[in-house]
A = this chain, B = another copy of it.
């Protein structure tokens, strides 16, 4: 099987043959401009969310000449996401929750202003409003199932912050887009933020989000609840960042999790990450299905993709979750890998060097 499952519980059958909408919620975080919590290459960090969703939506990045790469030269997972969009003809529409640079494609604006300073405990002041907006937006989106990804450079730090703020054991457990996961730095940043915002046992989920979350989280929570309420399956497409969203959903509407309509869809790279522990986080929250797509990049002709197996990038832009959907709906692994490789070559115009 090309999908690794934990607590699958019949979820994969629910997404078979269904018409999905894929959406990627993007945000930037001010803290990332002066503290190196993100694995995204510093030169492109402001442009990455826009360039990623442009690539998914129209097949190329418009904001950057080539698609984003990480600091080791590995390509953005948006290449995987776009391959699924092309191969399975998936409708997609993306949401800005405060990217520094706005995409040059039609996109849904939900908050113009970026996520703020995590170490100050001032991530945002409108998480409840963002939740409501996400919820109302979700009610107006037509699809059988929702696949919702994220692109938030620095977002594993905010995930850590929200998980700690809500009382989960998450230290050393969030993944990273980089090979070297700077756990200590992330912990330092969010502990400062939680302290400055006086987060304690009586704080609400929105207090925690306002202090150390990112704007993607309440939006995805709102979207997910609105779909699940209509009895439509939701794939939270991401790694440990989506576990934080799951925790947020549980705080807002615990009942909704009982219907087994919300799953986490990620990559094998996150699930097998020795420097993170997605499973260990999720089992503290709720036994939702964890579904991880396999890519067989070990023997890829592209070094940047082989590096995924060594811990580069791992996940992002909903790549793992949309791949789970695509594989369940008949996408052949060989065709998939070849398509991703060809897309890489085409986009980086490297074919002549290979």
Interface residues of A (CB under 8 A from B): 19, 21, 57-58, 91-93, 95-96, 102, 105-110, 112, 133-134, 136-137, 139-143
Contacts and interface: CB of A to CB of B under 8 A. Distances in A.
Contact of A142 (B21, B58, B105, B112): B21
A109 B107 CA distance: 5
Contacts of A112: 102
Contacts of A21: 142
Nearest to A21: B142
Copies per complex of this chain: 2
A325 to B, nearest CB: 15
Contact of A110 (B91, B106, B141): B106
Contacts of A106: 95, 108-110, 133-134, 136-137
Contacts of A96: 109
Contacts of A92: 140
Given A57-B136, A136-B58, A19 B102 contact: no
Contact of A140 (B93, B95, B133, B139): B93
Contacts of A142: 19, 21, 91, 142-143
Nearest to A22: B140
A227 to B, nearest CB: 13
Contacts of A105: 133, 136
Contacts of A143: 142
Contacts of A134: 106
Nearest to A95: B106
A141 B91 CA distance: 7
Contacts of A95: 106
Contacts of A133: 105-106
